[in-house]
Amino acid sequence: MKKKSANPYLSGARIDPEHIKSGLSVADMIDSTFMAYNAGRMREACRLYSEKMLLPDVTIGMSLAGALTPAGIGKSVIIPLIQAGFVDWIVSTGANLYHDTHFGIGEELYAGSPFFDDIDLRKKNVVRIYDVVFDYKVLLNTDLFFRETMKSEIFNRPMGTAEFHYLIGGFIAEREKKLKLGNPSILGAAYKASVPVFTSSPGDSSIGMNIAALALSGSKLTLDPNRDVNETAAIVLDAKRSGGKSAVFICGGGSPKNFMLQTEPQIQEVLGIKEEGHDYFIQFTDARPDTGGLSGATPSEAVSWGKVRPESLPDTVVCYLDSTIALPLISAYALTKAKPRKQKKLYDKLPKLVEKLKKEYLTLQKKK
């Protein structure tokens, strides 16, 4: 029997891992051998996600920054999480969604090397994202897909990025079906599951560049950030007002991280609605906190902004690890340990959620 230490600092699990053996599952490996440092934080993140965040009353937002989809992370990890009901809404860079579309329309990317001669690659019309390579025509074909799709009359008006991605996702899903591709695209999977997908900086990607090109020939399509700010805030407020909790699952940092976290300051600081912050927080990042950038800002710092509930700090984990390593690990763990959840289909509910947010805000304004 384990002897319990009287010293509270020595009350944790004893570091005495079992030998790794053939046939050990990912989940068992994490539980039995990830003892300390970022491995320890990885185990804490896996358990927080599986045991608390995946409870039915928790609404989970995932942010995606960094070149994840070119590495195949969309198909291998994020789509299975969407299908299992383990992700309820997403904020992504436009670049991730653009490169995700390559897979949905049948384009091909290949494993390469970070040491290829880039001058020679340019001569041979090959594009490199670190050690991922593809033909320059992949970009041209994807641009053409977006421009031709966005010429449809349903796009000829202002809209939020959630609506835009939902409509695009429908076209991608049709292309996947026609080409018998299976389910390789995040936007296609999000469309089928009614998971709203937002982009915090829509002009900062090839998707936004193609929208801008169409504007030169008279298209009325614009992406309205006001709708996105109110819709994301409405999702979080409803998660709390319905008696549940709000969780953020942050992959990388940057603008998607801030856009997801700013939902609470929007509710509290700007709209003046009483709220206390997100309840659960997981982040995978390589950014340091001491440079002052948002990418490396800790959950503790987020408390000072009202982004995270002070009482929730024990339920926050930051793991300093590449998302392309961390995401497959935590996903394999969660899909092993937790049962699929009923999909919340938040996209279908957005108009009602925004109306509830508006009603609470206007009621407060009348009292002033």
- For residue range 91-123, what is the model confidence (pLDDT) as tens digits? 999 999 999 999 999 999 999 999 999 999 999
Evaluate whether 339 touches 55 at the Cβ level (below 8 Å).
no
User: What is the model's pLDDT at position 11?
Assistant: 87
The H-or-E segment that residue 91 falls in is strand 89-92
Edge-to-edge strands, sheet with 126-129: 110-111, 132-135, 126-129
Residue of 43, 49, 51 lying closest to 26 (CA atoms): 43
Work out the average pLDDT over 354-358.
Answer: 98
> To the nearest whole percent, how much of the chain has pLDDT over 70?
99
User: What is the model's pLDDT at position 67?
Assistant: 95
User: What is the model's pLDDT at position 12?
Assistant: 86
User: What is the model's pLDDT at position 13?
Assistant: 85
> To the nearest whole percent, how much of the chain has pLDDT over 90?
96
Confidence of residue 3 (pLDDT cuts 50, 70, 90): low
User: What is the model's pLDDT at position 5?
Assistant: 73
Cα dist. 234→210, 238, 355 in Å? 29, 6, 8
The pLDDT of residue 20 is above 90: yes
Phi (first) and psi of residue 105, to 5 degrees? -110, 10
Write down all domains in the chain, each with its CATH number in brackets: 48-367 (3.40.910.10)
Give the chain's end-to-end CA distance (angstroms, integer). Answer: 63
Q: What is the pTM of this model?
A: 0.96
User: Which residue in 75, 240, 257, 307 is the catalytic one?
Assistant: 307
Evaluate whether 272 touches 266 at the Cβ level (below 8 Å).
no
User: What is the model's pLDDT at position 2?
Assistant: 56
Q: What does the alpha-carbon distance between residue 168 and residue 186 come to, in Å, rounded to a whole number?
A: 11
2 is catalytic: no
User: What is the model's pLDDT at position 194?
Assistant: 98
Work out the average pLDDT over 298-314.
Answer: 96
Work out the average pLDDT over 243-270.
Answer: 98
